[in-house]
Structure 1
């Protein structure tokens, strides 16, 4: 593949007039904007999770709820690590002429971070609803919310990707 030049009407395989380096720069900028949104949410959620164990009510939780809490905190820590990973990656490889590879790895970390964030939010919701109510519908409510997250975060984007992209 020969990258498109700025002069003329050549368009690269991505439908843009950009070199591979320009593409990597653009993708990096887009990725970092996406990560900023997810990072903020996961850090706030994780911060709140860290305070729960210090609340008086924590001691009165059932063992099952304490286990859900521990799992939730670990998931939150893992999600935080995955979503902060692209920043560290960029800092450590900056100037090493590996931006395309950095974008690829940062994208993978972000996707894993989103999956971990989904798991964190799911277990957080489960814990909160179990503690706040004795409703037997809690698992169904959590399942419905997870289905909504999956629809918004994965199904719609993948459907759009599949049905709205053009092939050459």
Structure 2
């Protein structure tokens, strides 16, 4: 488990409890966003405009909804794990598994947002080239904010430390 901070005086159980609470705070934001996006996506198919979409956009919509469902399930999984494993003395393992679920869920959420954006931009813009370009730029932004910048901060901290 990451987050070994030598200046903390805590037992492994206290550390697991602290990390679990921090993870719950993080995942609450992601879960809410994923659930709202998923709910919105579910309603799109029932609009009159949906039937006029080209085949590619319909398939893109289906892929987006499936990604949204999987992202939502993955981000909610730590709660289900906790519910089933509470009281069994496996919180450190729960924290590790939940961390993997959250990381995977974030990646799936980024893909869901990206494909939803592509669908929206393809529908809103006449120039599909711009839709692809703007969507690619947003995907790069996700990669920068969620992957690259945290690695830069971590490397700088390791060099100082």
Query: Please, what TM-score do these two structures have when normalized by structure 2?
Result: 0.93
2:72 aligned to 77, 80, 95, which one? Answer: 80
CA shift, 1:166, in A, is 6.6
- Aligned counterpart, 2:118: 126
| 2:13 alignment partner, one of 21, 44, 47 | 21
Query: Residues 129-168 of structure 1: matches in 2 within 5 Å?
Result: 129-135=121-127, 136-165=129-158
Partner of 1:111: 103
In structure 1, list runs of 5 or more residues that go unmatched. Answer: 1-12
Distance in 1 between residues matched to 2:82 and 2:97, nearest whole Å: 10
Moved over 2 A (4+): 165-168
Deviations 1:109-152 (A, max 9, x none): 00000000011011000000000111222111111111111111
Match of 2:90 in 1: 98
What is the CA-CA distance between 1:162 and the residue it aligns to?
Answer: 2.0
Structure 2 gaps, min length 5: none
Task: Tell whether 2:36 aligns with 1:44.
Answer: yes
Alignment of 1:5-20 (within 5 A): 14-15=5-6, 16-20=8-12
Bigger CA radius of gyration? 1
After superposition, give the CA deviation of every residue in 1:52-80 in whole Å (9 maximum; x if it has no partner).
00000000000000000000000000000
Q: CA RMSD in A?
A: 1.3
Aligned pair count reads 156
Q: State the distance in 2 between where 1:165 and 1:98 align.
A: 30
Q: Distance in 1 between matches of 2:50 and 2:86?
A: 44
Structure possessing the higher relative contact order (Cα contacts under 8 Å, 6 or more residues apart): 2
